[in-house]
Amino acid sequence: MATHTSKYGRPLRTIIILFIVLAALFGVMAFNRAWSPKLGLDLRGGTTITLTASNTVGGGAPTGESLEQARTIIQQRVDSLGVGETEVTTSGDRQVVVTVPNVQQDELVRMVGQTAVLTFRALYVAMPVQPAVPSATDPTAAPGGEATPAGEATPGTDAPAPEATPAAETTPAAQGANRPAPMLPTAPPPVRTPRPTAPGQGLAPDQAMTWAPTENDYIDFQEYQCGDPTGEISDQPLVACNREGTEKYLLGPAIITGDRLTTASAGVPQNQLNWVVNLEFDPEGGRQFESATGALAAKQDPENRFAIVLDGHVISSPSVSQAIPGGRAEISGSFNERTATELANILKYGALPLAFEVSEVSNVSATLGGEQLRAGIIAGLIGLALVVGYAILYYRGLFVVVVLSLAVAGAFTYAMTVLLGESVGFALNLPGIAGAIVAIGLTADSFIIFFERIRDEVREGRSLRSAVETGWEKSRNTIVISDAVSMLSAVVLFILAMGGVKGFAFILGLTTLLDLAVVFFFTKPLMSLLVRTKFFGEGRKGSGLEAEKLGVRSLSGRITRRRRPATAAAAAAKEA
Amino acid sequence: MSSSTNTSDKSKSSLAHRLYVGELSFDFVGRRKTWYVMSGIIIAIALIALLVRGLSLGIEFSGGADFQAPTRVTAQTVDNMRAAVAASGVPDLDDATVTTIGDNTVRVQTRSLDAETEVPLMREVIAKELGVGTDEVAYSLIGASWGKQITQQGLIALVVFLVLVMVMIWIYFRDLKMSIAAIVAVLHDLLLTIGIYALVGFTFTPATLIGMLTILGYSLYDTVVVFDKVRENTANLRSGRVRYAALANKAVNQVLIRSINTTIIGVLPVAALLVAGWFILGTGPLKDLGLVLFVGMVAGAYSSVLIATPLLVDMKMREPDIIAHEESLTRRAQRKGPRKSADEVDDVELDEDVSEPTNEELAASPSGLRITTDEAKVWRPDAGERIQPKHRTRSERKK
């Protein structure tokens, strides 16, 4: 509190800076052409499916890596349905949440709830295809890998991998006019035995290498288009594509299932430059792997390859040139760090496949969503009106400060919600709106603490102008600690709660922070400015700062001789 | 409520002011036994209700399916829908409940259904019965173990929050007793709210659980503000001649208006939530949150004034420092002889060594505040106005 001018200049400057920040936020909104917050499904209609993952073996909680892997798998399943704007996120340590904005979800529920399994299968036919038009995926989708390296599996030696070169003849799968390969029969037989839909009727891993494709298998292979559901059963043959949908394969029954894997890791072996993926099987898996690789090594390309299949997609199809004993193998090829790590993670997932339980499905029609939004907005407006009404009744002229502060806090909250929707995909849901409404009370409360403190200071015998300053000094700590308490509850809720509640906690936390900012950089400077006006500073009638309302005889401090306001101001400056 | 007011020229001043300077003072701390007993009785009723009636848990906790569809509700809606559900071909639907929400929604709640087969069938049946499109039938399906998980997470959040907040308040006030008193008050609110839920039979949903956590924040927040003032008033306790209990009580009176204002301002938006949730939507998180916050905030305001501060005083009274201070005041009072009561020593004989203007004000107030402490009652001249003119303090003479 130094000279007169600095005291005068600072509050105004603070307010101006605050408005510049606010204007900047709205500028960013204008730049992104985003004027409304992203709405949660409970406000615009749609389906939320919450899945709880547990290990198929032992039933414990999954590791973070395998949960992330599960998320990726489910994301791909949902994307394959071709519904736009789906979002798949992990939540907590074992939930995967799928949100779909449209309402045809019966099939979706069935699809996402299946357990994904990892299998190793012998490869019989590989054929490049034109990828179908990719379905619209949202930006949060997992990064689609580049073409999967078709490397080589070796016991430990490192040979250059034969790169699979796409054949020139591609067939537009998107139009369903797959031209049959010349060696294959074109007319499908009139009647085919339906394929088994449950395991137990096929070949066990030890007999898997004895399987040979029949005519039916070739026809299925012809007719299959990437993106079709595969109906994968581990002891049955499979027609599947790679993840990118650029190649389709005819595969035999599983030679090894993923749960036989013990570890998988990515790394660069000593004295080498290229990334490889190491895998290790348990004794039984090692035995199976050795006999399968022995059988594969004797064949010609592409039949000397085996496919690593996860959830109906071929992830990698390395070739084998010799039997691999000892249960340890190394897949080398054109890996970089990312692709090697990705493959290793997928293999790890296979070691601990997750089962999903559909914990919660909640479906809201667009009509109901709109109604909920309307109710939320109405509640907010009623709440604001009530608070403003009470402020007018109790604080008279000072209600201007309450209203302006709430308006500024509201503008900031709105801008932040919109921008967070744009940047991190935060969606405002009904609990979120409730959080914002609850926060009106919290925000208003900071002013009450401050105003009451100013009144107290005046009662202690200070002049109004110094009461604003000392009242602020004394109420600041109370405001901070009380906001800290509500911030703490918001953070704890956000971290620990599940489902829609996160939205509530997030908005509550956000508004608490903004409340602090508004009280510090708007309400307080505004009070300092207002108290300099004649209307407020002299406690005129209707200002809410009348002497009798505060219960004192006069507002110019303890020494009650009539003084001109100018000298009172100087006294106040000296006092502070 | 023992209150003493005077009828001097201050009659014009506001209630807030009279509370602040101690002209009007409610003896919250002195009557703490009353509040404890009152709260004890309420909590006992709440616990009995909880044990006997239990909470009516929403389907989120028990698992089940809930369908809601728009319709013009008539007298036959429920019966027709019940018949349609029974004839749907889905097995074991005897326990299905059909209710209406407001006058435009019908709600069917059943056991947990199979998402692939039974849910689509039920939606069709309901849609056909009402003559609306299948996609107009909103539904939610909750697996049986989901509720267990939600509850567990909620309880973990509750415990974590309580521990953290206790530490936080302890650090802020540097006074463990304050944080214990605050937490006890919070637990009191929690019990009370759950008890009211059990008594009235409101449905307890995950949103309610969240509301509970929010209340905890609110209740603490209120208590923190009162304690802040208590700390300020008692900062120079040893140099003053006022008992701790009197100062704490004064603090409560001084922030009473703020507590009332805060509660009103906090409850107003919550009431709006309730109105919108109950009358517009009829069900859902708005109503659940509104309800629990409403109950909890009122309880929180009550406990921060009538439970937290008296508890704090009770605990403080055991501190050697405070005991010594009390004893010296009592000795003083005895030295002065029976003509003056201990109380009057407390509030009237303040002098220069008190730097706190609050105490000066207190001294200046024509009739001190009357504090009933727990010790043996000393002689009181009369309960009304003084007969003799009072010796005025310097600050008063100046005016």
Interval B77-104 mean pLDDT: 78
Q: Are A239 and A248 in contact (CB under 8 A)?
A: yes
Q: How many CB atoms lie under 10 A from the CB of residue A377?
A: 14
Contact B145 A109 (CB under 8 A): no
Q: Is the pLDDT of residue A170 over 80?
A: no
Give the sign of the dihedral formed by CA A377, CA A382, CA A383, CA A384. Answer: positive
Contact B276 A560 (CB under 8 A): no
Q: Phi and psi of A232, rounded to 5°?
A: -70, 130
Contact B224 A371 (CB under 8 A): no
Instruction: Sort strands B138-142 and B64-70 into parallel, antiparallel or unpaired.
Output: antiparallel
Distance between CA atoms of A336 and A274, rounded to whole angstroms? 7
Touching check for A135 and chain B: CB below 8 Å?
no
Distance between CA atoms of A90 and A98, rounded to whole angstroms? 9
pLDDT band at B377 (very low <50, low <70, confident <90, very high): very low
Unique residue bearing structure tokens 């009828």: B7
**Residues on chain A touching B165 (C-beta within 8 angstroms):** 485, 488-489
Q: Are A237 and A211 in contact (CB under 8 A)?
A: yes
Distance between CA atoms of A329 and A554, rounded to whole angstroms? 91
Percent of chain A with pLDDT over 70: 74
**Residues on chain A touching B68 (C-beta within 8 angstroms):** 368
**Ordered alpha helix ranges (H), A33-88:** 41-44, 64-80
**pTM of this structure:** 0.69
Interval B120-139 mean pLDDT: 81
* Distances from the Cα of A352 to the Cα of A62, A66, A229, A347, A498, angstroms: 8, 8, 23, 9, 24
Q: Comparing A12-21, A156-165, B19-28, which segment has the lowest mean pLDDT?
A: A156-165
pLDDT of A267-318, one tens digit each? 888 888 888 888 888 888 888 888 888 888 888 777 788 888 887 788 888 8
Interval B144-173 mean pLDDT: 81
Percent of chain B with pLDDT over 90: 0
**Strand order through the sheet with A87-91:** A87-91, A95-100, A46-55, A354-364, B138-142, B64-70, B105-110, B97-101
pLDDT of B243-301, one tens digit each? 888 888 888 888 888 788 878 888 888 888 888 887 777 777 778 888 888 888 888 88
pLDDT of residue B67: 85
pLDDT band at A193 (very low <50, low <70, confident <90, very high): low
The end-to-end CA distance of chain B, in Å, is 32
pLDDT of residue A183: 46
Interval A36-63 mean pLDDT: 77
pLDDT band at A82 (very low <50, low <70, confident <90, very high): low
**Residues on chain B touching A501 (C-beta within 8 angstroms):** 206-207, 210
pLDDT of residue A571: 46
pLDDT of residue A197: 62
Q: Is the pLDDT of residue B397 over 80?
A: no
> How many contacts does A have with B, using Cβ atoms within 8 A?
250
pLDDT of A461-497, one tens digit each? 788 888 888 888 888 888 888 888 888 888 888 887 7
Q: Is B363 left (phi over 0), alpha (psi -120 to 50) or beta?
A: alpha
pLDDT of residue B249: 85
DSSP labels for B116-172?
TTHHHHHHHHHHHHHT--GGG-EEEEE-HHHHHHHHHHHHHHHHHHHHHHHHHHHHH
Contact A390 B265 (CB under 8 A): yes
Q: Phi and psi of B107, rounded to 5°?
A: -130, 130
Contact A492 B160 (CB under 8 A): yes
Closest partner CB to B143 (pick from A358, A381, A456):
A358
Contact A460 B357 (CB under 8 A): yes
Interval A160-180 mean pLDDT: 35
pLDDT band at A196 (very low <50, low <70, confident <90, very high): low
Distance between CA atoms of B179 and B182, rounded to whole angstroms? 5
Q: Comparing A185-194, A526-535, B161-170, which segment has the lowest mean pLDDT?
A: A185-194
From the list B184, B189, B155, B251, the residue with the least C-alpha distance to B46 is B189
pLDDT band at A433 (very low <50, low <70, confident <90, very high): confident
Question: Which residues 504-563 of A are in CB contact (within 8 Å) with B?
Answer: 504-505, 508, 548-553, 560
The two tokens of residue B58 are 């929403």
pLDDT of residue A531: 82
The two tokens of residue B266 are 């906090």
Q: How far is B372 from chain A (nearest CA, A)?
A: 25
From the list A232, A320, A203, A330, the residue with the least C-alpha distance to A272 is A330
Contact B218 A486 (CB under 8 A): yes
**Residues on chain B touching A374 (C-beta within 8 angstroms):** 280
**Residues on chain A touching B207 (C-beta within 8 angstroms):** 431, 501
The two tokens of residue A298 are 């004797």
Closest partner CB to B136 (pick from A365, A455, A461):
A365
pLDDT of A311-348, one tens digit each? 778 888 888 877 788 888 888 877 888 888 888 877 87
Distance between CA atoms of A489 and A506, rounded to whole angstroms? 10
**Residues on chain A touching B21 (C-beta within 8 angstroms):** 459, 551
Q: Comparing A394-398, A516-520, B4-8, B351-355, which segment has the lowest mean pLDDT?
A: B351-355
Instruction: Select the more confidently predicted residue: A36 or B23.
Output: A36
pLDDT band at A549 (very low <50, low <70, confident <90, very high): low
**Strand order through the sheet with A261-267:** A261-267, A276-281, A328-332, A152-154, A319-320
pLDDT of residue A474: 84
pLDDT of residue A148: 42
Q: Is the pLDDT of residue B37 over 50?
A: yes
Distance between CA atoms of A487 and A496, rounded to whole angstroms? 14
Touching check for A398 and chain B: CB below 8 Å?
no
Distance between CA atoms of B31 and A548, rounded to whole angstroms? 32
Contact A438 B273 (CB under 8 A): yes
Distance between CA atoms of A217 and A223, rounded to whole angstroms? 10
Q: Is the pLDDT of residue B48 over 80?
A: yes
pLDDT of residue A184: 44
pLDDT band at B346 (very low <50, low <70, confident <90, very high): very low
Q: Is the pLDDT of residue B340 over 70?
A: no
**Residues on chain B touching A373 (C-beta within 8 angstroms):** none
Tell me whether the omega of the peptide bond preceding residue B310 falls within 30 degrees of 0, making it cis: no
